A and B are shown apart, each in its own frame.
Chain A
C-alpha cells in the first residue's frame, strides 16, 4: 500500500471518467507530437538538402519555386537557362564552384537529373552497388528509387517527359529511343539524392533532341580548363576517368540549356554582390536557399502554429476535464479524506494523494498521446513516402517531446491544485459527524 496504489484505486473506481480525460489529453498531445515530428524532420531534411549551397541560379520566376524545384525537387522548375549564361556564372570570380542541373524527365515519379559527380559528392553519396554514371545514357539511382521501382544493375528504362510525381502513365511522352541503363545504386544518404535518378547532363540533352558529339567520351575533358578558378565542385576526375566539367565542353553550341546551377561562393562577400549581378542579367535569377527555406518555414509556420494551438486547446480542455473530474470526485470523497486524516494521514499526505491522481492522469494521457503521435507520424510518413514527397518517420524521439511531457504533467498538476487544496482543508470531526 502506498499513495500511488491509493490514487490508482480511486482512478479505477471512476474508470470511465478517467479514461475519457486520458483520451482527450492523448489526442491533444498526439496532435502536437505529430506537428513536432513533422516540423523537426522537415527542417532537418531541408537543412541537409540545402547545406553547402550558397545560391541557386536559374531562369526568371519565383525564387521559392526555383529552390523547391532544384534543391528539394518538389516543384516544377521555372524554366531553363542558356549554357552561355551558366558558363558565365561558373567563371565568375566570386564563384568557387557550381553543380549543373538539367531536369525535364522522370521515371516512375522519380526525377531524372542530369548532373555531374560533384552532385553526389556534395551529399556524401557513394555507390553501394555498381558505380557512378560515366557515359551518356548510364544512370545511377538513389536508394529509394531502387527500392520503389525495383530497378537494379543492368536494367534499362525509358524516361517520361515531364517531372510529375505520379506514375509514368500520368506523365508525358515516353522517350522510347533513348533508354537508360542502370550502372549503379547509391547508398541511403537521408537527402534528396535518395529519390533521384542521376545521369550526365549530355544524356538529358540527347534525349531531348541534341545529338552529342561527346557521347561516350567520358575522359575527353581537359583538366584545368578555367585557369584561376577553384574547381572543387565541378572539375573532378574519378577513377573511371569521368570529368565533372564535361558539360562545359559544349560552349558555343546552340540551344544548349541547363535548368539551374547550384553555386558556392568564393567568399562571404559574394553574398552581397553576386545575387544582384546575376539578377541583372536578362535570363537569370538568383535565389538564396537559406532565405527561401526560412521563408517557406515561416509560411508553413502559420499553419503549423494554428494546428499546434489547436493541440494545446485540446490539452487545456483535458486539463479542465481532469480538474472537473477531481473536483467532483472530491466532493464524494470528503468522508474518505476525513477518515484518512483520522487514520493518521497528514494534510500534506492528502494533498500529495490528490496531486498524484492528477499526475497519473496526465502521465497516462501524455504517454498514450506520444504513442498515438508517433504512430500517426509513422502512418503519415508512409503515406508521404507513397506520394514520394517527404521522408518522415514516427520512429524518432526529439528533445521537444521532453518539454511536452513536462508541460502535460504541469497541466495535470495544475488541474489537481484546487482539489488538493480542498483536501488540505478537510476538517475531520465535522465531516465525519455530518454523515
Chain B
C-alpha cells in the first residue's frame, strides 16, 4: 500500500532526511516514532505527495508518486490520501459542514450531504454542522479534522502528531476514532508522533531519526 525505496530528502537549509526502506500493507496501522526534527513530518509529506523525494521512490497503492505530476498528483492525493494535521487547519471562513464539503469538492467528487451528516453524527458532532471552527473546542475541531480526512474513504490516512496536545482522555478518544475510521475505510493508517502513549494501541512501529 505504502512503500519507501531508498528515499532521501535534501533541504537547502537543514539536515538531509533519510527514510529507511519500508512498506505498509493495506489496512495496517503504523506508528512513526522519532525525535522532533527527526523527519516524521517529512515522511508524511512524502507519502502524501506534498514533497517530491530528492532520491528514491515513494509509492502509494502501487503507484510511484514521482510518475504523477500537477493536476494528476493533486487529484490522486485527494482521492487516496486523508490527512490529519497537528494544527488541524480547518478553514475558518467555512462552517463545519462546508469544511467537509470542501474536501469532497476539491477531490472532484459530488458533495454527499448524507455522508457528511452521518459522519458528523458518528463523531458526536451533529449539532456543530453550521458552526464555524472558532466556535469549536479543541476536541471538536480535532474530530472535524478526522472526519475530513476519512470523508472520501481514502486508502491511506496520515496523521501528524494528532494527540500531542491532548490529555489522556482525549488522546484515547482521538486515537480510537482514527483507528475505527481507518478500519471502517479499510485504510492504512500511519501516525507520526513522539507521543509514546500510542505505542500500546498501534501494532507496527517505524523509528526514524535525522542524519547529517
Contact = CB atoms under 8 A, between A and B. Distances in A.
Main secondary structure, interface of A, reads helix
Interface stretch (A70-78, A273-281, A336-344): A336-344
A10 B93 contact: yes
A349 interface: yes
A5 B51 CA distance: 29
Nearest to A6: B102
Contacts of B101: 1
B98 A5 contact: yes
B111 A343 contact: no
Interface string B40-71: 01000100101100000000000000000011
Contacts of B77: 342, 344
| Range of interface residues on B (Cβ < 8 Å) | 20 to 34
Contacts of B70: 346-347
A107 interface: no
A380 to B, nearest CB: 40
A395 interface: no
B173 interface: no
Contacts of B94: 6, 9
B75 interface: yes
A344 B111 contact: no
A121 interface: no
A435 B92 CA distance: 15
Contacts of B98: 1, 5, 9
Contacts of B87: 435
Contacts of A340: 91, 102, 106
A2 interface: yes
A1 B79 contact: no
Given A1-B102, A2-B105, A344 B75 contact: yes
Nearest to A10: B93
Nearest to B91: A336
Nearest to B9: A429
Interface in B68-113: 70-71, 74-75, 77-79, 83, 85, 87, 89, 91-94, 98, 101-108, 111
B29 to A, nearest CB: 22
Nearest to B78: A344
A372 B41 CA distance: 54
Contacts of A349: 106
A12 interface: yes
Residue from A339, A342, A343, A432 whose CB has the most chain B CB atoms within 10 Å:
A343
Nearest to B113: A1
Given A344-B74, A435-B87, A1 B104 contact: yes
A343 B102 contact: yes
Contacts of A336: 89, 91-93
A1 B50 contact: no
Interface in B100-133: 101-108, 111
Contacts of A5: 98
A344 B108 contact: yes
Nearest to B86: A435
Interface in A308-342: 335-336, 338-342
Nearest to A345: B106
A70 to B, nearest CB: 65
A1 B83 contact: no
Given A340-B102, A344-B108, A13 B93 contact: yes
A285 to B, nearest CB: 71
A428 interface: yes
A16 interface: no
A181 to B, nearest CB: 73
B85 A432 contact: yes
A335 B104 CA distance: 19
Nearest to B92: A13
Interface string B158-199: 000000000000000000000000000000000000000000
A428 B101 CA distance: 21
Interface in A338-394: 338-349
Contact of B106 (A10, A343, A429, A435): A343
B71 A1 contact: no
Contacts of B91: 9, 336, 339-340
A230 to B, nearest CB: 76
Interface in A257-275: none
A381 B63 CA distance: 70
Contacts of B50: 341-342, 428-429, 432
A282 to B, nearest CB: 81
A336 B103 CA distance: 12
Nearest to B87: A435
A345 B108 CA distance: 9
Contacts of A306: none
A12 B93 CA distance: 8
Contacts of B107: 343-344
A12 B105 CA distance: 20
A345 B41 contact: no
Interface of A: 1-2, 5-6, 9-10, 12-13, 335-336, 338-349, 428-429, 432-433, 435
* Closest CB pairs A-B (n = 10): A344-B78, A1-B101, A13-B93, A1-B105, A344-B106, A9-B93, A429-B50, A339-B89, A429-B45, A343-B106
Given A9-B91, A343-B102, 16 more contacts: A1-B104, A1-B105, A5-B98, A6-B93, A9-B98, A13-B93, A336-B89, A336-B92, A343-B78, A344-B103, A344-B106, A345-B74, A346-B75, A429-B50, A429-B51, A432-B45
20 contacts: A1-B105, A6-B102, A336-B92, A336-B93, A339-B89, A340-B106, A341-B50, A342-B48, A342-B50, A342-B77, A342-B83, A343-B106, A344-B107, A344-B108, A345-B74, A346-B75, A429-B45, A432-B50, A432-B89, A433-B45
Interface of B: 41, 45, 48, 50-51, 70-71, 74-75, 77-79, 83, 85, 87, 89, 91-94, 98, 101-108, 111, 148
